[in-house]
Amino acid sequence: MKKALVLSYLGSNYHGWQRQKNAATIQQTIEEAIERLTGKSVYVSGCGRTDAGVHARYYVASVELDTTIPDERMPAALNAHLPEDIAVHKCVTVPDDFDARFSCISKEYTYVIHNSRTRNPFLKNQACFYPQQLDAEAMNEAAKYIIGKHDFAALKSEGTPVKSTVRTVLECSAERDGDIVRIKARADGFLYNMVRTIAGTLMYVGIGKLKPEDIPKVIESKDREQAGPTAPACGLYMTSICYGMEELDGKG
């Protein structure tokens, strides 16, 4: 029977979602927890391949699971076998053709910047510390140019080859809340490191290295060198997913 798990995690101690031979990952940790609970080896499909150090406030994974444990009891049962930095919040029975990654309509990521002259020890590994003052209003103006269907080759890093670098960004914004600047981006899909590159590019706008009106030219260039740097992984969170299914759609 196909199940969807809604979970959240701090990625600081993991080398991303995808299972690796010689490093701890979120996928491996969840698969091992399920095996300890049920006695059966399973494959868990995640809604996104988050990188090392990236976090998720709202994440969905799917798995074929033959168990008598009711959906409402599954989170507590699994959490008893998971470390404290990973938590399952909901288990939902879904159609057999459901896949957490390929059934997804849109995803939202939030990039968190601690914009202060002095670092906050409590935000270590949970926000990007950036001491130079950022103009969040200019960043938000620049973010508007990212919205729409574009070839985002200029805003990706080299990684897994893809057939097309065209994506549709549905929302993109930057806003300040005290010393915290949050960049949000929602799209039908993202290229490798695309959100972190969007964050780095908007940070360049925030310090005046780029102007908001430069963003269309950066995108049209399809040249990675024209955009800003890839921002550190520690500030990135997956925060919302849409499947068009009330029981799974949500924000963290």
Which positions are catalytic?
51
Beta bridge partners of 237: 55, 110
Q: What is the DSSP-derived secondary structure letter of residue 73?
A: G
d(CA 68, CA 30): 19
d(CA 104, CA 4): 12
Vertex 151 angle, CA 243 and 159, to 5°: 75
Q: What is the DSSP-derived secondary structure letter of residue 51?
A: P
Report residue 56 as tokens: 């998720």
